[in-house]
Structure 1
Amino acid sequence: MRIDLSEQSVDALAEIISGGSAGAYEPSIGVYRQGWRLEGWFKNFGVPFDLEGATRVTATVTAIRAAIFLDSGNGELLKRIIEAAADPRDFIKEPERHTAVVEYLNKHLVFDGLKLEPVGRRVRLVEIAETALVTAELSAMAAGIDFDTVSRDLDRALRAASDDPEIAVTAACAVVESVCRSILVELGIDLPAKQDIGGLYRAVRDPLGLDPMKEGVSAEIVTDVKRVLSGLITTIEGVGSLRTHVGGAHGKERGFRRIDARIAKLAIHSASATALFLIETWQLRYPGRRLPPQETSSPERQARQAGS
């Protein structure tokens, strides 16, 4: 990700990181940090911070400019700094301030083609042009139901799409697999022998009633809905095959040619649409019933079964 911060964005970022001037007429929405804390904060990123002969805010601006120089054009260092500036853990006691910080930074970052968006309990920096409605909606839903596994896998996929598309494809598969496993575990259904994306999706079709004939769909559109669901299976199998052949979970021979970001994003959006559909179907068929993360589902389920 290439990041070209405007002077206005640098100033806004410096205000949030430093907490603004101590003598300002109005308090800053940022986190007030003393000079020695600012030095330690930037040291975590390998960025020099020199307060000698400068105010805290001015020194913070200088440090951000140093980070721009050190970034070498790949954007990773600046991305980490911007995300850390809006880390929700710094606003645990005042979550409304965190919302204000994200909004304030986004009002500046939008002119740089960037934005901060929530993913689970974190925020991440994305290029506006790369944000898709389906991934944003899935992120919001995963955060709303506290579905950490999906949030992490989706976050990993989106982060890697441009720089490491093979990893992105693997993470996209994991998004759907996490949802399917959670559904099966919560319903007390044994996982299939073949636990790839295709096998897991087939295992949840019947429990979720993914048959238009069983859902009372109007006769004139039953065939159409069947075709859409059939296409969904084809898409899932395609994403799974892509992961098998180019995914980051497999070693590659020397000279292997990686897929490009377009294909990785197609896999992410396809997997996101599938996961969103499955979660919404779960919520429709089992209203009010919690669908917990896959890592915690199994012990919880076993505990309930042991007590029954």
Structure 2
Amino acid sequence: MSEYPTTPLEQAKMLENILVSACEGPVADTGMYQHIRAELMQDTTLRPLLPEFVRTCRDLKHFWGYIKDFAPKWEPRRVHVRDGMTPLFDHIEGTHRSPVDTVASDVLQKFDADGVHVVWEKALARRHTDPDGAITSARTLLETVCKRILDEAGETYSDKEDLPALYKAVATKLQIAPSQHTEDAFKRILGGATSVVEGLGSLRNKIGDAHGQGGKPVRPSARHAQLAVNLAGAMATFLVDTWAVRSQ
């Protein structure tokens, strides 16, 4: 298939064009849609960014059944498709990426590509589309980093230990616990780092998607998720960099 798009951006553009055209009526040939959809669905980073109608519609016949009921006219259907594709384009084009994203991605990729880095990418992908999930991923990132460092250091921990307990063990091992320093400036900075970790754990428990909530649940916005993910990324990078120095 010589005209098949090879990059995620090209695939996203063609997918959008196919869907916009399909808003006008039933489409018999759905091969290209199915190929692009299958490839994007296999990407663990991009899949959560796909609009729900792409994730649930296996071919254009299913999409037509969905879109014709969404609105009777073509233009509202097209707007719906373009709006649904926006998070995917924003991620691919880097619209919502910040400097810490790149730095943390590089450090965490080198540290543990199959474990830590996958969780980090999931947190990044969820920030603007699934704030609850992003906050949960932010805590999972720090838990995974702490456990990975403790494993490499030959230290033991139980499955019942929560994030603050894991971080305390890692901080002590890396000599970054506030109590291990006498300089007031360092004690303040490292105490702040401890507070960040404890705050992320508390935020996730209060408004993340890891626990059921009562009749008036507090829902985080994208800015809350952005803050949580950026803080987790900065802390994870700090821990990994410190471990790299201490373990030499």
- TM-score normalised by the shorter chain: which range applies? 0.5 to 0.7
Give the C-alpha shift of residue 38 in structure 1: 3.6
Is 2:201 the partner of 1:201? Answer: no
Aligned partner of 1:74: which letter?
A: G
1:282 matched to 2:248 = no
Provide the rounded CA distance (Å) in 1 between the counterparts of 2:120 and 2:37.
29
Contact 1:192 1:200 in 2 (8 A): no
Pick closer, same or farther for the CA change 1:240–1:40 going to 2, 3 Å.
closer
SS of 1:277 mapped into structure 2: helix
Q: Structure 1 residue 135: deviation in Å? A: 2.4
What is the rounded CA distance, in whole Å, between the counterparts of 1:152 and 1:273 in structure 2? Answer: 16
Aligned-partner SS, 1:71? helix
Using the size of structure 2 for normalisation, the TM-score is 0.66
State the alpha-carbon separation in 1 of the partners of residues 247 and 193 from structure 2.
Answer: 22
| 1:85-132 residue CA offsets vs partner (Å, 9 max, x unmatched) | xxxxxxxxxxxxxxxxxxxxxxxxxxxxx4xxxxxxxxx62642x212
Give the SS at the match of 1:154.
helix
CA shift in 2, pair 1:270/1:188, >3 Å: same
Q: Out of 201, 211, 227, which is 1:240 matched to?
A: 201
- Is 1:75 the counterpart of 2:85? The answer is yes
CA deviations over 1:196-235 (Å, ceiling 9, x no partner): 21111001112112258978xxx8xx21011100011111
Cα offsets for 1:16-60 (capped at 9, x unmatched): 97xxxxxxxxxxxxxxxxx997465146455659xxxxxxxxxxx
Q: Deviations over 1:234-276 (max 9, x none)?
A: 1111111011111111112344230211111111111111100
The aligned amino acid for 1:200 is L
The code of the aligned residue for 2:35 comes to W
Contact between 1:135 and 1:269, CA under 8 Å: does it hold in 2? yes
Deviation at 1:164, TM superposition (A): 2.0
The TM-score with structure 1 as length reference comes to 0.54
Cα separation, partners in 2 of 1:183 and 1:42, compared to 1, 3 Å: closer
Distance in 2, Cα, partners of 1:141 & 1:227: 25
Alignment of 1:92-103 (within 5 A): none
Question: Alignment partner of 1:251: what SS?
Answer: coil
Cα pair 1:154 1:171 within 8 Å, conserved: yes
The alignment of Structure 1 onto Structure 2 pairs a total of residues equal to 194
Cα RMSD (Å): 3.4
8 Å CA contact retained: 1:192, 1:203? no
2:10 paired residue number: 13
Q: Which has the larger radius of gyration?
A: 1
Structure 2: how far apart are the matches of 1:39 and 1:236?
Answer: 43
The one of the two structures with greater contact order (alpha-carbon pairs below 8 A, sep at least 6) is 2
Amino acid at match of 1:265: Q
The ranges of structure 1 where at least 4 consecutive aligned residues each deviate by more than 6 angstroms after the TM superposition are 67-70, 212-215
1:72 and 1:185 mapped to 2: Cα distance?
46
Q: For the structure 1 residues 185 and 68, does the alpha-carbon distance in structure 2 shift closer, same or farther, using more than 3 Å as the test?
A: farther
User: Does the alignment pair 1:253 with 2:219?
Assistant: no
Structure 2 gaps of 5+ residues are 1-8, 15-28, 39-53, 62-76
**1:238–1:71: structure 2 CA closer, same or farther, 3 Å change rule?**
same
